[in-house]
Each structure stands twice: as C-alpha cells, then as structure tokens.
Structure 1
C-alpha cells in the first residue's frame, strides 16, 4: 500500500508540474504585458499611469468574461477527455469560441464608439479621461486575438500540450517589450507616441500570440478527430446554460464590483488612483504566477471526476490547495521585501510612491487568501460543474461586503487609500471560509 501510494504521489507530482509550470510561466509572461506597459508609461507621469489604470479596469470586464468561457470550456473538455467523448470535446471548444468572438466584437464596438463616455465613469479628471480613451480605442482591437488565445490555450492544456501556450507567451512578451520601447519613446525615424504607442504594441503582440496558438491548435486537432460543431439541441443548450449562467453572472458581478473599486479610487483623486495603478503589475505577476496551480487544479480534478474517481479528486484537491498556499506565502514575502525598491522605478511624485508602498504591503498580506480563493473557486469547485456555488460566494463577497466597505471607508470615513483597499479586501476572508465549508461537504463533486 505504501509503495502504491508513493507511486501515485510521484505521478501526481509529475502531472502537476507538467501542467502547472508551463501555465505559471505563461501567466507571468501574459502579466508582463501590463507590467511592461506600466513600467514604460510610468516614465510619462502620474496622469498616464492613472489613465492606463482606469482603461485597464474596463478591459478587465472583457478579460473576465472571456476567461469565464475559457473556464467552462476547460471543464467540458477535461471531463469529455476523461469520458473519451470526442463529440462533446469538440462542442465544448467551438461553442465557447463562437460566443467569445461575439463578445469581443461587442466590446470593440463600444470601445471605438464611446471610449470617453466609458472612461468618464472612472474619473472626473478630463486629462486622464482623454488619455485613457485614446489607449482603450486602439487596445480594443486585440480583443479578438485575446479570445482566440484564451480558447486555444485552454484546449491545448486539456490535451497535455501546456508548453505551446508558454512558447507563444514568451514570443509575444519579447515582441511587446521591443515594440513598447520603440513606439512609446521613439527610435530612429519613428517618433515617440507615448500611451498610444503602448496600445499599438500590445495589439501587435496579442496578434502574434493568437496566430501561434491557432497554428498549434490546428496541428493537434488534425490527429484527434474532434467534432467541429456547436451546441444546437435544446437538451444540450439547457445543460450548457445551467453550467454557464451562474458562473457568467457571478464573474460579471465580481468584475463589475472591481470596476466600482476602480471608480472609487479614481474619484478619491488622481494621485491615489496612480498609486493603486502602480500596484497592478505586482498583482498581475503574483496572481499570474499562481494561475498555474489554479488552472492545473481544474484540469486534474476535472479528469478524475470525469472518470468517476471521486476519492482521488478530493485528495488531489487538498494537496493542490496546500501547494497554492505555500507558493503564495513565499511570493508575498518577496513582494513585501522589494516594495520600496519597486516604486522607485516610476517617475511619480514622492507622496504617490509612499502610498504605493503601503498599498503593496496590504496586498502582500491578503494575497495568500486571494490565491486560495482562486484555486478553490476557479479550480476545485468549478471542476464539478457546480458553478452556482461560486456565483453565490462571489456576489455576496463583492456586493454585500467589499463595495459597501469601500464606499464607507473612502467617502464617509475619509481613510487613506491603503486602508480603503484593506477594508474592501476583507471580502476575501468571507469567500474563503464559505468556500472551505462547501469543499468539505463534497457537494461540488459532480460528473457532467
């Protein structure tokens, strides 16, 4: 028994590393888009930093919606692979890709037609709104490419080709870095374009990533003979919507809450908004680094549930949660240590830097809880298709705890911005406690 258990542990470790490591590295490289933009435009002053920050809030609505369909596709595909159902595997991919492309077109249209109106929801600073609108109008072109990248990455990970999305991430990151330098600051005959240059660089880099992943997707699906179709029968659509709607609604309400947070920061003041934006690269890197564990969790546990191995699914979940916690604590400690040096990279006022340090230290404190929630919610609980649990937790946490505390602390108590961030982050504690209760009940363990 001990020998068998040791073999299983080794197999589990190999499976986790083969999935989580490439996804983690890809998450870091993907997060680098934001980091590189922030570091380079950070040399242009507080207004440009804050402008990209508020534009990023609206962009995050699109990203979260597309990632939701990516998560649903991952659940369906991983369980279909566990059941060896090629028809369901194909429908899970193509149905979610089709809807994602429609959403991308809608968001591009909004960003092209009324960018100033959208950005005015986040700030009353006319200069910041103008800069943010110009960035959003161009960046929105990449929404089509992001949709393709997300779906192709999800599929490749589910069929044990997690390295290919990593390669695409590396190439697109290098492209983004080079183009950022050339287009933001100017090089040779190319004049400096500032924030506009950053948006153009991001679009081109995302295009390259999408083309690479589309090539790999077509290469590997040619041998798998999956069904090229979408859900069309009433029974299929009903099952799909039962799983999709709770998750979609919860993610939309969650990201809408995050945008309310961004609006709170923006209306408190441009410097406060800039200070919060300086933290974004740190958040992106840590959460991107831990995305590997979360994504691998959904795939590994989903496959066990698909083959009806509930005992192994539960035990694997516990191991993955412990791994995520340890990783988050280590990274948060590093973040806290480098916070003072990090803010010196930006060309901003001294008081903005001081605020940013406090905000980063608060993030380092709450990040382990955030990572556990990400692994538990996005990985474990979703793998069984019981997305309604996540919908309830996210909605209550954001709208009954986070938003009220943010408004109270910012506009009624007039607390410093780092205290505002800390108090609204307390919603994460509620989510974790409730999520662990659901996890231990095992009610989330289902087979599609």
Structure 2
C-alpha cells in the first residue's frame, strides 16, 4: 500500500539510482526526505502509542516511560550520534562513485556498534543513580527502573537498529527504511497492546510490556533492512557480501568525524533529559503537564529528523561530487519542506490543544482518583505549553535542516558546539525560571522557547558564511 502511494507521488522514471539527475530542488529533496519523514513518523508513533497505552494505567506509568526512556536515549546518544555520521560518509562515497566503499563504511559502523555494547551496559548503575536523585514517587520509581533496565539490557538490538538505516539513507534509497519502520511499528503496537494490558494467557506486564514490545519492533525492522542489504541487487552494485574486512582507515574517519556528532547528541540529549527531570522535580502536576507536552513535541519533532537525514545525505552526495551550488540549494529546499510540515502541525497545536491533552487522560476504570485529580490540574498548563510550541516547531525546522546540511559537509565540530550551547542554555533558563524565581511551568516553558529562537540566527549565519566549504575543499 505504501509503495503504491509513494510511486504515484514520485513516478519510477525520476529514480535514477546512482546518477545525480537533480540539482537540489524540492523534488530532489522530497524523493529522499518523504520516505524518511514517514519512517521517523512510524518510529514516533511507536513510542507515542507506548506512552498512550501506559497513560491509561495512570500518570505514574506514562511519566515513567518518558523519564526512563529519556535517560536511555541519553546513555545511547554518544554511540548512536557517532554512528549516524555513517549516512554522510556513505553519501559522500556515492557522489564520488566509490560504490564498494559504501558497504565497507557500513560494516565498520556495525563493528563499532557491537564494540560499544559492553560500555553501554556499564552505564546502567549511573541511570539508577539519576533516578534516585529525582525523589520520585515510589510507584513511578519502580516502573521507571523496570522500563529502563529492559531497554538497556536489550541495547545491542537498539544500537544495531540505529546503524541499519544509515546505508540506505546514505545511498538515497530511503523507501526500504520507510517499509522496515512501518513493519516494526505494527509489530510494536500489537505486542504492546497484549503485553501492557494482558490478553488470554499473556499476563498484564504494564511498563515492562512496553519495553519488551519496543525491542521486538526494533528487531523486526532491523532484520528487514539486513535482509535487503544482502540481497542480489546490493551485492552486485556495492559488493555487500565482500565488505566484512576490518578497515582501519574508514573506521578512523568514522570516529574522527562521527565522535563530534556523538558528543553533540549526548550533550543535547543530556540537556533535554535535564529539562524533563527538572519539570518532574516540580511535582506530579508539573511532571504530567510536561509529559503531555513533550509527547506531542516528539510527534512534531522526530519526523523532522527524517528531513535532517535527507539533507545530510543529499548535501554529502553533492559534496562528494564537488557540486557546492547544488548542496546549497538542497538546504533551502529542505527549509521550504520543513515549513510546510510545521504549518500543518501548528494548526493542530493552535486549534486542538485541549483535545491533544485529553488523549492522555487516564481511564477511569484503571486509574485512581488521585491520578485523575493530577491530570485535571495539569491540563491547563499542558494546553498553554502545546499552543506555545507552535513557535518552537517553526524554529526546529531551521535547526534540523542547517545542522543536517553542515554535517553532510563534514562541519560536525561546529554543529556540536552550537547545539550544545543552545540546549544547555535552555536547561539553565528552565532552572532560573522555575527554581530560582519559582514561576509556574507555563513561564518556564516560555523561557525555553525563547532560548531556542536563537537557532535560526546561529545556524543560518554559519551556513551563509560558507566556512563549511573549506571542510570539503569545494571550489
């Protein structure tokens, strides 16, 4: 079904694989970006449904998934951020017509992800320590620890799942990533329903069921991508079955260029998780309002990461082909697509904030009176925060497109510093607003949005300066 819809939007004749028939216009970007937007939307929906199901059990379970999942992402981020540069490296080799190196780079990323697993497991006690410092309710602490532990012990699945799409997004064939994500989402939603609520002989597992469902869904999408990677078509073109040798040169390049991206993601995710922890530290009402807001922020923002990946892929490809003008056009095309998407999200946030908040109302049959009371008190704050997020989503378009373009051009170190500075400034703004001046969660969220409004100025200035050209020696 998805294939049919996609083929009607973009007829087969425009897919000239391996040839740069386009020049960075909107159609060129959409060919790569639309499947990635859909792919990230499926991943988002998978996480969103997890939390939606858990919200029916009560705010504690929903907040536990947000808090535990957030710390998991932070601890993964150093590794997944470094791995993500695989897309840029693959796309650069594709542009330079070094096809066998595309597969070799991908394999080095797999080796790197497996090497990271023991170090990831060693961070589990650190996550427990973070939870102990939050002074959470006993119910949320227990659920949050359970959710976190299951995801961390299944870390090898999640790490390889992050590597698997990089090869296909790098070569610009993102439809298979979309299909794999869709399959993983379906499996996850089905498993979560049965595992969270129980069905027949399957016991009610609550947050543990949500974590297991996530791992199962990730495993399914990963298997699909690897089965495609080793298929005849990619064996013939890229030599995928002959790429298993360890290549020190390519691995070194991945580490040199990818680690700044990993550090950037770690610092960004740590700052974002700190925002969540500080909102949770303000009490159950603030925690619930923030959880509702950040769940909808995830729905709005994560698909934009697909646009970021597409921008990185295309800019990297044109960089490899020494086509600087086309790389520049890709960026502006990405901004136009992002603004159209954010306008649609903005309409929902503006006119339906109450409906969006009420989706997370606990079911009366499963929730306690205290849970319903907490939700009712949090609802007005959540509505205000959702409406204000309209501006936030518009700003995020600048952030993801320019950051993706700069990464594709190899300017990862600057992106690391700029992103970290902005995200930690937002965390500081929240602390000052909520903890020093003791303003309500509404004003704390407003302070965060104001900080993020610096993104268009900062990132556009860097791109317009043209300093990224020196990173790849484009003339």
SS of residue matched to 2:248: coil
**CA distance in structure 2 between the aligned counterparts of 1:329 and 1:44, rounded to whole angstroms:** 33
Matched, 1:360 2:386: yes
Counterparts in 2 of 1:72 and 1:280: CA distance versus 1, 3 Å: same
**CA distance in structure 2 between the aligned counterparts of 1:124 and 1:242, rounded to whole angstroms:** 39
**CA distance in structure 2 between the aligned counterparts of 1:75 and 1:395, rounded to whole angstroms:** 21
Matched, 1:155 2:152: no
What is the RMSD of the two structures over their aligned residues, measured on CA atoms?
2.3
The match for 1:341 among 343, 346, 355 is 355
Runs of 4+ in 1 over 6 A off after TM superposition: 7-11
Measured after TM superposition, the shift of residue 238 of structure 1 is 5.6
8 Å Cα contact 1:27/1:288 also seen in 2? yes
**CA distance in structure 2 between the aligned counterparts of 1:102 and 1:336, rounded to whole angstroms:** 46
What does residue 293 of structure 2 align with?
279
What does residue 70 of structure 2 align with?
57
Measured after TM superposition, the shift of residue 121 of structure 1 is 3.6
SS of residue matched to 2:205: coil
Q: Spell out, residue by residue over 1:187-211, the C-alpha distance to the aligned partner (whole angstroms, 9 max, x if none).
A: 1122222112111211211111111
**CA distance in structure 2 between the aligned counterparts of 1:184 and 1:106, rounded to whole angstroms:** 30
The match for 1:77 among 78, 90, 106 is 90
8 Å Cα contact 2:78/2:259 also seen in 1? no
Counterparts in 2 of 1:157 and 1:247: CA distance versus 1, 3 Å: closer
Q: Scaled by the length of structure 2, what TM-score is found?
A: 0.86
Counterparts in 2 of 1:122 and 1:380: CA distance versus 1, 3 Å: farther
Q: How many residues align?
A: 437
The match for 2:138 among 118, 123, 126 is 126
The match for 1:369 among 386, 395, 398 is 395
8 Å Cα contact 2:32/2:174 also seen in 1? yes
Counterparts in 2 of 1:114 and 1:319: CA distance versus 1, 3 Å: closer
Q: Scaled by the length of structure 1, what TM-score is found?
A: 0.91
Counterparts in 2 of 1:11 and 1:256: CA distance versus 1, 3 Å: closer
1:403-422 aligned within 5 A: 403-422=427-446
What does residue 244 of structure 2 align with?
228
**CA distance in structure 1 between the aligned counterparts of 2:163 and 2:67, rounded to whole angstroms:** 26
SS of residue matched to 2:472: coil
The match for 2:156 among 144, 162, 179 is 144
What does residue 47 of structure 1 align with?
60
What does residue 449 of structure 2 align with?
425
Q: Any stretches of 5+ residues in structure 2 without a counterpart? A: 1-19, 363-371
Counterparts in 2 of 1:262 and 1:26: CA distance versus 1, 3 Å: same
**CA distance in structure 1 between the aligned counterparts of 2:116 and 2:284, rounded to whole angstroms:** 31
**CA distance in structure 1 between the aligned counterparts of 2:415 and 2:127, rounded to whole angstroms:** 32
Measured after TM superposition, the shift of residue 92 of structure 1 is 2.4
**CA distance in structure 2 between the aligned counterparts of 1:74 and 1:118, rounded to whole angstroms:** 32
What does residue 392 of structure 1 align with?
417
Q: Any stretches of 5+ residues in structure 1 without a counterpart? A: 1-6
8 Å Cα contact 2:100/2:239 also seen in 1? no
8 Å Cα contact 1:53/1:274 also seen in 2? no
8 Å Cα contact 2:82/2:261 also seen in 1? no
Measured after TM superposition, the shift of residue 398 of structure 1 is 2.5
Measured after TM superposition, the shift of residue 335 of structure 1 is 2.6
Q: Spell out, residue by residue over 1:86-142, the C-alpha distance to the aligned partner (whole angstroms, 9 max, x if none).
A: 45423422222222233344334543x565334224444333211100111112244
**CA distance in structure 2 between the aligned counterparts of 1:329 and 1:30, rounded to whole angstroms:** 21
What does residue 402 of structure 1 align with?
426
**CA distance in structure 1 between the aligned counterparts of 2:101 and 2:134, rounded to whole angstroms:** 42
8 Å Cα contact 1:77/1:158 also seen in 2? yes
What does residue 308 of structure 2 align with?
294
SS of residue matched to 1:189: coil
SS of residue matched to 2:454: helix
Q: Spell out, residue by residue over 1:299-339, the C-alpha distance to the aligned partner (whole angstroms, 9 max, x if none).
A: 11111111111112112222222221232122222233222
8 Å Cα contact 2:391/2:449 also seen in 1? no
Counterparts in 2 of 1:330 and 1:391: CA distance versus 1, 3 Å: same
| Higher mean C-alpha displacement, 214-223 vs 410-419 | 214-223
What does residue 191 of structure 1 align with?
203
What does residue 263 of structure 1 align with?
277
